Structures are given as C-alpha cells and as structure tokens.
Amino acid sequence: MSARRICWCLLLTISAMAVLFVAAGMPLPVLYLIQARANMLPVLHTACGDGKCEPPENVSSCPADCPGVTTPAMCGEEPHSDPAGDAVAWGSAPEHRVSSAAECCERCVAHAASPKNAKRPCNSWVFCYMPHCWSLDNGNTHTFGECWLKWQTNPRQPLYGQRGKYTETFRRRNWDKHLTGKMPDGSPRNLSVPTHVPWTGGVLGTLVQYPRVTWSTDIEGIMISSAGERIVPWRAWESRKQNLARGVKAELIP
C-alpha cells in the first residue's frame, strides 16, 4: 500500500472514531485533540515536473520526470540526455541490446575493465528506454534496449549531444523527422518530436546535479541549463575550426 493511501486510511479511521466518541458523550477537548492529531498527518503530493518519478507517474503520464535515475551514482546517469563520444559498441546491434539502464552501465564498466579495450575504454553510455526513441538521425529507427557504449577523450569535461527538454522552437523545426518510414516490424513509423530527450545515459564518475539543475535543448542543439550555463555541442564531423566558429568552447573539443 502506498504512503498516500495509508495517510488517507488513517484520516478516515480517525474521523470515524471521532463520530463514535461524540455519540458516546466524549468531552469536546478530547475530540479537538483527536482532530488536531489528524490534521498533523502528512499530505503527500506528487507533482509532474519536480524531477522525481513517483507513483502514479510513469513514462507516459509524466515524461518530464520518468523514468528518473535508475542506476548507481558511479554511472553518472542524467535522465533525458544523450552523452556524446566515439561509439565503441553499436547499440543497434542485437548483441548490444539490454533490458535496463543499469545493465547498460554495467556493460560500459565491463568494457572499460577489459585490457583489450585499453586504448578506447567505454566511459559514457546511452540507453533507449522507449519503444521508439526519437532522434535527429531520421534515417535510423532506434528502439527499446539499444545500449550505446562510447569513449570520450576527456570525461572530466563530459560532452552531450542533447539534454533535458526540447524547446518548442526545436520541436517545430524537427516536427516531421520521424513521421515517415517503417519500424523494424514493417509497421508505419509515426512519431512526432517528444517533449524531452527520450534517452538516458551517463559519463562514468560524473557528479550529476539532477534534478537540481535541469537542461533544455534548442535549435542547432544548443543546450541551456537552469543555472544559466549555455553549451554549443561539439560535432565530430566538423573540423576544429568549424566547431570553434559555431561557438563550441575550446576545452570541449577533443
């Protein structure tokens, strides 16, 4: 039974007792004490948008909060994020599909621990937790279970492709990216831009300030935090000169 339901049951029980006590002639001061105790019971509220995924919230009813952080702190998980890096394991391959974000993080840790991966050990990971994870690369259809393992040259300056909530401008610009094409089972693909980045991921060892600091992704992938930080994303397919010209910080260029 949930804490909220327990509270309501206690309140109803106390109210019923008060009625019986009045009928039995209990003095009013005692009745007032009972009512005061009832008013002191905590009233639990669940608010979509508070950064916590709590029942009855779920991915469908509150994509802003859910699924939330589901991995150990060392995974550096930031919900609604797409950590960047060179792929060292392609999540679209059948052998790299997993059932949870925690399992994806474990795959990353295991990859990093293997001597054969010493040159480019996994230090960032991304997991698709939706049946169809929207993405800008509309030539591909990403589905549940994809676990992308990546390597960043400097995890102390973690790189992200997208973070947090999509702005309305971003959503209008990319509204038709996944409205055509086919799903892997042959059914029509018909997915508009979600309100939030439909991926979760992390950079190993990174201290994440979620939900105290939240992010939004705007046109051209510019990420803006609730703390006022503004990050222009690094693009692997552009030269250093091109990245700098777009406003990418020099320390964020591998």
Q: Render 168-220 in DSSP notation, one character per residue.
A: HHHHHHTTTTBSSSB-TTSPBP-BPPPSB-SEEEEETT----TTTS-EEE-GG
> pLDDT band for position 45 (50/70/90)?
low
Residue of higher predicted confidence among 237 and 25: 237
60 or 73: whose pLDDT is higher?
73
pLDDT surpasses 80 at 24? no
pLDDT at 27: 52
What integer pLDDT is reported at residue 136 of this predicted model? 85
Average pLDDT, the chain: 83
DSSP lists the bridge partners of residue 148 as: 126
How does residue 113 score in pLDDT terms, banded at 50, 70 and 90? very high
Rounded average pLDDT over 32-50: 55
Backbone angles phi, psi at 87, to 5 degrees: -70, 130
Residue 225 CA to chain centroid, in angstroms?
15
| Average of per-residue pLDDT across 97-124 | 97
Dist CA 195 CA 79 (whole Å): 13
Please give the average per-residue pLDDT across 167-176, as a whole number: 92
Task: Read off the pLDDT of residues 198-216 as tens digits, 9 standing for 90 and up.
Answer: 999 999 999 888 787 889 9
Residues 91/126, Cβ–Cβ less than 8 Å: yes
SS3 75: helix
Dist CA 159 CA 152 (whole Å):
8
| The pLDDT value given to residue 207 | 86
pLDDT value at position 50? Answer: 79
Provide the pLDDT for residue 184.
84
Inter-residue contact 252 to 231 (CB < 8 Å) = yes
> What's the pLDDT band for 128 if we cut at 50, 70, 90?
very high
**Residue environment code for 234-243, b if the CB has 16+ CB neighbours within 10 A, otherwise e:** bbeeeeeeeb
pLDDT band at 10 (very low <50, low <70, confident <90, very high): very low
Query: Helices 28-39 and 3-23: crossing angle, nearest 10°?
Result: 170
Q: Is the pLDDT of residue 7 over 50?
A: no
Using the predicted structure, report yes or no on whether residue 137 has a pLDDT greater than 50: yes
In terms of pLDDT, which residue wins out, 47 or 248? 248
